[in-house]
Amino acid sequence: MSSYVISGVSRGLGFEFVRQLSVDPANKVFGLVRNKAAVDAKVASEIGRSNIYIIQADTTDPDALKAAAQQVSAKTGGTLDYIIANAALQAKTALVGFETLAKDPKALEEDLIEHFKVNTIGPIHLFNAFMPLILKGKAKKVIAISTGASDPEMTLKPDMYQATGYSITKAALNMAVAKFSASYREKGVLFMAICPGAVDTGSLQIATEEEGALAMALFGKFKAYSPTFEGPTPVDAAAKSVLALVNKATVDGGYAGVFISHTEKKPYL
């Protein structure tokens, strides 16, 4: 039996992690969301398992995360095996670069701060809130879902000027993971950041012709970075691959504090 806390499970990879990890009825799977009623209804209709617990907690709110940790603790007897920091912001500003964003410096700043709050500071609050439980858990594994876009190589090779706030704040997340590892490795806690590859979650929700053209330009950068890239992976296969690496990785196996692809190889796509 293992216990898991996963942030951002309303859709996409987060929802799929919940689906796959709850298959074992001995597991307890806790999903953190911003709209509990909606996700409770979705889980009931699409998964329907009694070992899934949906908890209201915006990951940018440390008090909500502390309250969530108390709820989890009450159900697990004060322990937790795994955290998966999955919640993230990838705003439509990802479709353009600094050249375009520079036209409105105030909006540029707000966009960066919002990405930083959700993608970097949120996971830091999440880890801190649940650390007392993790230290009492068996597995002691803390995972951040990052992205290949955080590696300067993926920007420099194809001149990928897009996804500014997203790439910058995920790179900062990777460093936060390294710092947490530096604090907790000797206590046996594995911290690592994993890129799941490009996943078919429709997270950018392209709505207009103009956005479609910008998305195609971004796709072109992915192709220039990795000529064999044909498109995103189905969400079930991506989640399975990430979880296989989570199971395999150990503190002593060279994984402490690292950022790597779910395939453990480059390119990320």
The residue ranges that bind ligand NAP (CB under 6 A) are: 7-8, 10-14, 32, 34-35, 58-60, 86-90, 118, 122, 145, 147, 195-196, 198-199, 201, 203, 232
Bridge-partner residues for 6, per DSSP? Answer: 31, 84
In the complex, the smallest distance separating the C-beta of residue 198 from ligand NAP, rounded to whole angstroms, is 4
Helices (H) and strands (E) in the chain, counts: 10, 7
Cβ neighbors of 246 (< 8 A, separation 6 or more) are 82, 84, 141, 143, 194
Distance CA 257, CA 134 (A): 16
C-beta of 62 vs 135, nearer to ligand NAP = 62
Distance CA 177, CA 180 (A): 5
CB-neighbour burial class of residue 34 (10 A; exposed 0-12, middle 13-18, buried 19+): middle
Residue whose CB is nearest to ligand NAP in the complex, by number:
12
C-beta of 128 vs 203, nearer to ligand NAP = 203
Bridge-partner residues for 5, per DSSP? Answer: 30, 83
Q: Annotated active-site positions, please?
A: 166, 170
In the complex, the smallest distance separating the C-beta of residue 77 from ligand NAP, rounded to whole angstroms, is 26
In the complex, the smallest distance separating the C-beta of residue 111 from ligand NAP, rounded to whole angstroms, is 14
In the complex, the smallest distance separating the C-beta of residue 207 from ligand NAP, rounded to whole angstroms, is 15
Per the structure block, which two tokens stand in for 108?
Answer: 């540029």
C-beta of 72 vs 88, nearer to ligand NAP = 88
In the complex, the smallest distance separating the C-beta of residue 197 from ligand NAP, rounded to whole angstroms, is 7
CA distances from 253 to 77, 109, 188 (A): 29, 40, 12
Cβ neighbors of 66 (< 8 A, separation 6 or more) are 129
C-beta of 58 vs 81, nearer to ligand NAP = 58
C-beta of 61 vs 135, nearer to ligand NAP = 61
In the complex, the smallest distance separating the C-beta of residue 201 from ligand NAP, rounded to whole angstroms, is 3
C-beta of 11 vs 157, nearer to ligand NAP = 11
- For 71-97, the DSSP string reads HHHHHHTS---EEEE------GGGGS-
185 phi, psi to nearest 5 deg: -60, -45
Q: Which of 158, 156, 174 shows the shortest CA–CA distance to 166?
A: 174
